[in-house]
Amino acid sequence: MNRTVCTSMLWSRAFGACILKVPRPPTSSVAWVVPVISLSSSRFHSTNIKFRSYLQYLKRKIKPLSGPPYPNVCQVGDPVLRAKAALVDPGSVLGPEVQEVIRTMVKVMRRFDCVGLSAPQVGVPLRILALEFPERMLDDCLPAARDARGLITVPLKIFINPQLRVLDGRTVKFQEACESLSGFSASVPRYLSVEVSGINEKAESVTWQVSGWPARILQHEMDHLDGVLYIDRMDSESFININWAAQNE
């Protein structure tokens, strides 16, 4: 890994976004779009939509729409991201539905190179969060950045019905991003040190005290369970489109 990109990767990869990736085109309709002759023609536009709709219909006949948990990350505007997630019945944690939600969350988190994910982000309004900061991501970061931000590796952790307690009420601001607001980033104040308690994917009681970057991830994911996004807490002047500079090239 080229070390010159590490700093930018730090606040991109280290908080959920795949910022350095080339944005993917929408997967749902690209294959169906008829070559555009004149965008100003409303008649053509209408025909195009009808054509797409018919092809979408055929596509769905072959592969029916599936409900949540989704294999993708829900984007801002989706009501599920603004709802207060419900408690999970502890007796259902080992059941197939909850286990499927957890499996999907982990798969999506790894697929998008996120370091944390909440169940609402895969369309499930339940109080479940996952986090993981693997060695390879830490290796991408400069030593100075590791120290400044308190980066450490974190093996996969699942918290169900988590409760957060602030251990150190001082706050620190760093740039963070969210896969549910793909393409943007902002500086957000977070507490230095927190304790989270809840149950894990094996229905065991767990408590974890943590500082630095994992504490930031936890606070970000806990917010998702209450319908709060980082844009609600950000320093608004720091809000950026991560590709703003490239637009001027």
Catalytically active residues, by annotation: 221
| Separation between Cα atoms, residue 135 and residue 175, nearest integer Å | 21
Type and span of the H or E element at 56: helix 42-62
> How near is the Cβ of 144 to Zn ion at its closest, in Å?
26
What part of residues 119-148 is at the interface with Zn ion (CB under 5 A)? none
Choose among 76, 17, 83: nearest CA to 225: 83
Build a one-symbol-per-residue string for 174-203: x at contacts with Zn ion by CB under 5 A, - elsewhere.
----x-------------------------
Q: Which listed range, 19-27, 105-113, 138-146, 171-179, lies at the site for Zn ion (CB under 5 A)? A: 171-179
Which position's Cβ is nearest Zn ion? 178
Q: Which is nearer to Zn ion, 176 or 201 (CB)?
A: 176
Q: Which listed range, 19-27, 85-93, 131-139, 170-178, lies at the site for Zn ion (CB under 5 A)? A: 170-178
Would you call 183 helix, strand, or coil by DSSP?
A: coil
Q: Which is nearer to Zn ion, 56 or 75 (CB)?
A: 75
Kindly report the length of the chain.
249
Choose among 226, 223, 228, 221: nearest CA to 15: 221
| Separation between Cα atoms, residue 225 and residue 83, nearest integer Å | 8
> How near is the Cβ of 161 to Zn ion at its closest, in Å?
19
| Other residues' Cβ atoms within 10 Å of the Cβ of residue 9 | 20
> How near is the Cβ of 228 to Zn ion at its closest, in Å?
10
Q: Which is nearer to Zn ion, 126 or 178 (CB)?
A: 178
Q: Which is nearer to Zn ion, 48 or 222 (CB)?
A: 222
> How near is the Cβ of 42 to Zn ion at its closest, in Å?
39
Choose among 53, 3, 8: nearest CA to 28: 53
* CA–CA distances in Å: residue 239 to residues 175, 231, 236: 9, 8, 5
Q: Which listed range, 18-26, 100-108, 173-181, 200-208, lies at the site for Zn ion (CB under 5 A)? A: 173-181
Q: Which tokens belong to 170?
A: 């001082």
Interface residue list for Zn ion (CB under 5 A): 178
